[in-house]
Amino acid sequence: ILIKPPIKEPTEPIELTLHSDVRAVERAEFDLHVAERLSFVEQIKLERERQQKLEEEEEIRRLRKELVPRAQPMPYFDRPFIPRK
């Protein structure tokens, strides 16, 4: 009995790249980019709020300093006021 050699070689599977896998990687990069942008916008917003709060505190400090009642000097009259009858 003669054994014939196999005519064709065993097939090797090719590596599959699913579009969903590629899309998942792209989406992860996009989500990272969006998260960075949101954190940057949030940081700018916090900085503006801090700056505005400092300006308001400075304005309050200035107004309190201006609105302190101060004594007015007595006016000088060159001749006294005498009411006429």
**What is the Cα 78 distance to its own chain's centre?**
66
pTM: 0.55
Question: For the segment 37-46, what is each residue's pLDDT rounded down to a tens digit?
Answer: 999 999 999 9
Degrees to nearest 5, angle at CA 83 with 78 and 85: 150
The larger pLDDT score, comparing residue 17 to residue 31, is at: 31
